[in-house]
Structure 1
Amino acid sequence: MAISKNNARWLAVGVLDRVTKQHAYSNLQLNQVLQTHPLSDADRHLMTNIVYGVLQHKLTLDYWLEPFIGRKKIDNWVRVLLWTAIYQYHYLDRLPAYAVTNESIDIAKAKGNPGTRRLVTGILHAFLRKGARSFDELKDPRERLSVSTSEPRWLVDNLVHDYGQAVAEKVLNSFNRPAHLAVRVNTALTTVTKVISALANEKIEARPSQLAANGLVVESGNVLASSAFAKGLVTVQDESAQLAVESMDLQPDMKVLDACAAPGGKTTQIAEQLDPEKGGQVTSLDLHANKIRLIQRNAQRMGLVDQVNAQQMDSRKVGQIFDDNTFDAILVDAPCSGIGLLRRKPEIRYDKSRADSEHLHRIQLEILDAVAAKIKKGGIITYSTCTLLKRENDGTVRAFLQDHPDFKLIKTRTVREVKDDRATATLTILPSDVGSDGFFISSLCRIR
């Protein structure tokens, strides 16, 4: 019997083929397929698990496949199909191996020719007989860490250099654990306690965040389909990302600049604390018109339109529009390599390089240089990223301070005193700390 084109494994192979061959975004490809194919909840879960799991473990899967493929030249989709099968054998061991094997062979038969079917059949049967080869064959400790965690060697080297071997291993292993969903409560409309109760009434279980004062971690249920989300009482935002605005100590009458604002999560978080009747307003900038519309839609959903002024602009050109000493507070949530988000966007680990990080470091400095004169004396520029690479974090802060003696670095503080016993003024949240995304925050105060 021919395999169904609505089969979860068939669809997963198609998504992964496009992501790996065309560098398409996994979340967009996956969402598109889920919206256009009628799948049971179990099949939706299986397909999602296979797609993200294969992307997370791709280097490991290639290492295990290498002895069975050797120098054979195979099409990308065939390699993808073999990845999906071996991923299921090893990481989804509750699935019967025969079911995985049979459907994989059926996919090979439907998508390829008899030779392809024989190749896939032979490799999968050989793998099941011999098993996965040991990582101990890799004598270089960092190469072994790279392959076993499926992280590129340059990233392993960087994290070991920045944090030491023990911490780097914890961080690298944490990247392959499932990411949880977190939301932020809109305190302009409600309270954390009321939202927990409202979600419970819709059979959505949520617990207070360990990090963020207004954050919730969703344990079960579809919060995006809830009335709380529709009414703007909550918005999706990771716990660690909420700390950037939380650290800003905003007052209702402040003029605030969000220099790199899309999709608007931090803009709305700022806006919640401002009173437009007292002159409070956040000016939100982004380079792209479609992202400005996204910011405006988020503000509309959350009842914060009066506090938000979204403008399409390259934040490096703020000097052309705004006078010096205009803002009481500035947030620069800068473009970065996004290494702290690898659990949510697993494919970016294979697309980034050390050169990308250096390029982003220069852009970050250009943005900070541009906004520096726009903050009032005594005001604070909050510089944050969702990467863990110190070149883009403390390295960018040091470079900025060297060129701007009118600023000093002060200790970043949060409501729940997150990592308050640290020796550094800057705050780095590692994904291995409490299971949140990785995030970096610094506070740059203008002293003259």
Structure 2
Amino acid sequence: MYGCLQHRLTLEYWLEPFIKNKKKVDPWVWELLLLAIYQMQYLDKVPDHAIFNETIEIAKVKGHVGTRKFVTGVLHAIKRNGLRNFDNLTAAQRLSIEESIPQWIIEQLISKVGLEKTVQIAQAVNQTPHDSLRVNIGKIKSSELQVQLEKEGITTSPSEIAADGLVAQRGFLAGTPEFKQGSFIIQDESAMLAVESMDVQPGQSILDACAAPGGKTTQIATALAGQGNVVALDIHQHKLKLIKRNAERLGVANVVHPQLLDARKTGELGNTRFDQILVDAPCSGIGLMRRKPEVRYEKTLKDSQQLAQIQLQILDAVAPTLKSGGKLTYSTCTILPSENQTVVDQFLKKHSDFKQVKTQTKKAVKDQRTALGLTIYPDDFGSDGFFIATLMKK
């Protein structure tokens, strides 16, 4: 079913000509036919006759005689006539259907990076993602962890982009003793770069404004090396518990202070001032399409625009709590410009006491770019799509 979800727009495009009135078809029958087409087109080891027999049998058992006849007729019509091609579509329509990404996302990306780059991004998000982890350098060296994981049958290699990241070739990372002991946390390589770009120093007081589940909070805490503190905000009590558990497992709970608060109400913290602030903002999550294919269908352009307003509200709220000369890092796991640099530009127009500087990482990721913000696209390094902006308070 994961494959059906990932290729849903393509499968529906193929199925639609064989269904005269979709509204009269039971939802489960529609899904059953999509699954049959998926198997026919993407699973080369399953013969068509086996797919037909199994699909028709399910229709007979779950439905009635009419259902069985309908499904049988559709399958034979597909076999007889074949599936339609993409030749009569515009470039954006074709890319949307072929790679099963809603057209509004395709159009947003084309406007930002052009058609050629958008094609590469679209193809990348339908590839199988690899697993990655962040080494808890407060407990263990990367090389030592690699040796230990190798004994568990998990081969890893250093991340191309994240200083403390390892990429796993295979194996169940969360089931290892090293995970339970807090030697590492499962985290995407791109996500590690936000905190890495902050260059956290021991003794600093830091606000993580949108903290759950705590991956970046614990990364900040590790960099503090037991000196300083990180205040971790979230609006859900159960997510605060998750932050606490992660902090305890990684051995950094002594400097992590979870607090139940909407980041848009950061002013309620009183006179507290921070050396650095991280706003890993709630976003559309479009950069995660490879790991979470459902996000592409759940979000609309209007959703993205509404999220941009929330993101700006959070930045506005946290800005007064940053010390002069402090650093505000803004990040999202989306690749839509409306939620990234556009939000930063709007913030800077309202806050003349801030300026944007070039985001830099330990491995100099995309350092030759002209843009100040750092955008990681899924096709760049095989990691999640991500955006990071670095703002300094004058």
Q: Quick check: TM above 0.5?
A: yes
1:167 correspondence with 2:167: no
Aligned residue type for 1:440: F
1:313 correspondence with 2:261: yes
Please state how far the C-alpha of 1:99 moved relative to its aligned partner.
2.2
SS at match of 2:337: coil
What residue number does 2:371 align with? 424
Separation in 1 of the partners of 2:238 and 2:372?
Answer: 36
Aligned residue type for 1:151: I
Please state how far the C-alpha of 1:125 moved relative to its aligned partner.
2.4
Q: Kindly report which structure 2 residues correspond to 1:93-108, keeping only aligned pairs within 5 A, or say none.
A: 93-108=44-59
Q: 1:90 aligns with which of 38, 41, 58?
A: 41
Q: Is the 8 A contact 1:275 1:281 kept in 2?
A: no
Q: 2:165 aligns with which of 208, 212, 215?
A: 215
What residue number does 1:44 align with? none
SS at match of 2:251: coil
What residue number does 2:83 align with? 132
Aligned residue type for 2:59: A
Q: Is the 8 A contact 1:268 1:304 kept in 2?
A: yes
1:359 correspondence with 2:292: no
Separation in 2 of the partners of 1:400 and 1:63?
Answer: 41
What residue number does 1:301 align with? 249
1:273 correspondence with 2:236: no
1:259 correspondence with 2:209: yes
Q: Kindly report which structure 2 residues correspond to 1:314-353, keeping only aligned pairs within 5 A, or say none.
A: 314-323=262-271, 326-353=273-300
1:206 correspondence with 2:156: yes
Flag structure 1 segments of 5+ consecutive residues without an equivalent: 1-50
Relative to structure 2, which stretch is displaced further, 101-110 or 423-432?
101-110
Aligned residue type for 1:223: L
Q: Is the 8 A contact 1:330 1:381 kept in 2?
A: yes
| TM value normalised by structure 2 | 0.98
What residue number does 1:402 align with? 349
1:445 correspondence with 2:392: yes
Separation in 2 of the partners of 1:204 and 1:336?
Answer: 33
Which has the higher relative contact order, 1 or 2, with Cα contacts under 8 A spaced 6 or more apart?
Answer: 2
What residue number does 2:91 align with? 141
Separation in 2 of the partners of 1:130 and 1:215?
Answer: 50
What residue number does 2:232 align with? 284
Separation in 1 of the partners of 2:145 and 2:81?
Answer: 53
Relative to structure 2, which stretch is displaced further, 94-103 or 352-361?
94-103
What residue number does 2:72 align with? 121
Q: 2:126 aligns with which of 149, 173, 176?
A: 176
SS at match of 1:373: helix
Aligned-residue RMSD, C-alpha: 1.1
Please state how far the C-alpha of 1:318 moved relative to its aligned partner.
1.0
Please state how far the C-alpha of 1:119 moved relative to its aligned partner.
1.3
SS at match of 2:198: coil
Separation in 1 of the partners of 2:177 and 2:191?
Answer: 24
Aligned residue type for 2:192: Q
SS at match of 1:136: coil
Q: Is the 8 A contact 2:217 2:230 kept in 1?
A: yes
Aligned residue type for 1:315: A
SS at match of 1:220: coil
Please state how far the C-alpha of 1:205 moved relative to its aligned partner.
1.3
Separation in 2 of the partners of 1:116 and 1:207?
Answer: 52
Separation in 2 of the partners of 1:105 and 1:231?
Answer: 50
Flag structure 2 segments of 5+ consecutive residues without an equivalent: none
Q: Is the 8 A contact 2:138 2:225 kept in 1?
A: no
Separation in 1 of the partners of 2:182 and 2:67?
Answer: 51
Please state how far the C-alpha of 1:400 moved relative to its aligned partner.
0.5
